[in-house]
Amino acid sequence: MKRSAVATAVGLCLIGGGFAIAQQQPLEPVQWDKRRLDQLDRNVRRLERALTQRNAAGQPVLVEPDPEVVVLQGQVSILERRLGDLEATFRRVNGDTERMTFDLDEANRNNTQLSARVRDLEQRLEKMQEEAELNAPVVANSPTGDAAGDLQAAMRLAGEDARRGARALETVVVTWPDTPQAKEANSRLGDLHIANRDNASAVQAYAAALSGWPRTPWAPETTLKLAEALRATDRATQACGALTEFTRRYNETATAQQKTRATQLRTRAECS
């Protein structure tokens, strides 16, 4: 490093001894080998000795800085300052980004909690509306304008939603009283009560369906279901009475399976 600095200094200019290095046109690239390197080393050594002698003789060598180097150093200094400003800006942006990310995460958590509460409130409101609708008094209403059509619609609904279906069947009974469709609607209501293990309500529905002992295809089966519901509610005597009516009114139209069930029910109810 020392030799290179000395060579550069001498190459730029020698002030104090009247020496000046004339500018020359660029030369062809030098092919460095051992011989040339040794020669360069010897020349550098001679320059070092000459500089030492001039310094010792009170004739110091002053090296003028290259203007291009000075400009370049200034540009480097400006770039370093700009780089420092950019680093500070990046740090500030990173800090802002971290704060924004935290705020966004917090907002997402709050939104999730609020969404859950809204869904819960919506479900509770729907349940309240459904309960209010299902518990409201049943009034006459005919969606189809026809008893048979209303009954079919109610039965389809009962297959999808038991509670709404039950209300639709009750509406048929209220809308079309004293009709075959009202009696069948009561029979279907009895089936829904049995499915809910409400034998007492099933007895009332089956009894309403069999009022007047209708001669319909569903009547024998409904009579057996009435007998079963009566026995399940500890009314064996009434169950035996229903079985007696089954034999007297529906024995001719009943199937073999229904007759077998009637015999089994008499045994279980201990009918005389």
Residue 135 in domain: no
* Same domain, yes or no: 195 and 236: no
Domain, as residue range, for 183: 146-199
Residue 137 in domain: no
* Same domain, yes or no: 216 and 254: yes
Q: Which residue has the higher pLDDT, 51 or 13?
A: 51
* Same domain, yes or no: 246 and 188: no
pLDDT tens profile 88-146: 888 888 888 888 888 888 888 888 888 888 888 778 877 777 777 767 888 899 999 99
Residue 116 in domain: no
Q: How many domains does the chain have?
A: 3
Residue 28 pLDDT: 65
Residue 172 pLDDT: 96
pLDDT of 158 > 50? The answer is yes
pLDDT tens profile 167-215: 999 999 999 999 999 999 999 999 999 999 999 999 999 999 999 999 9
Residue 66 pLDDT: 62
Residue 255 in domain: yes
Assess contact for 220 and 253: CB atoms under 8 A: yes
pLDDT of 69 > 80? The answer is no
Residue 38 in domain: no
**Arithmetic mean of pLDDT, 42-51:** 79
Residue 125 in domain: no
Contacts of 141 (CB under 8 A, 6+ apart): 171, 175
**Arithmetic mean of pLDDT, 5-13:** 42
* Same domain, yes or no: 272 and 222: yes
Residue 28 in domain: no
Assess contact for 250 and 219: CB atoms under 8 A: yes
Among 38-42, 71-75, 79-83, 232-236, which is the least confidently predicted range?
71-75
* Same domain, yes or no: 192 and 219: no
End-to-end CA, the chain: 130
Residue 76 pLDDT: 78
pLDDT bucket at 19, cuts 50 / 70 / 90:
very low
Residue 188 in domain: yes
Residue 70 pLDDT: 67
Residue 103 pLDDT: 81
pLDDT of 31 > 80? The answer is no
**Arithmetic mean of pLDDT, 145-167:** 94
The percentage of the chain sitting over the pLDDT mark of 70, rounded to a whole number, equals 82
* Same domain, yes or no: 269 and 216: yes
DSSP sequence for 1-25: -HHHHHHHHHHH---SSS--PPP-P
Cα separation, 194 vs 30, whole angstroms: 111
* Same domain, yes or no: 222 and 167: no
Assess contact for 150 and 177: CB atoms under 8 A: no
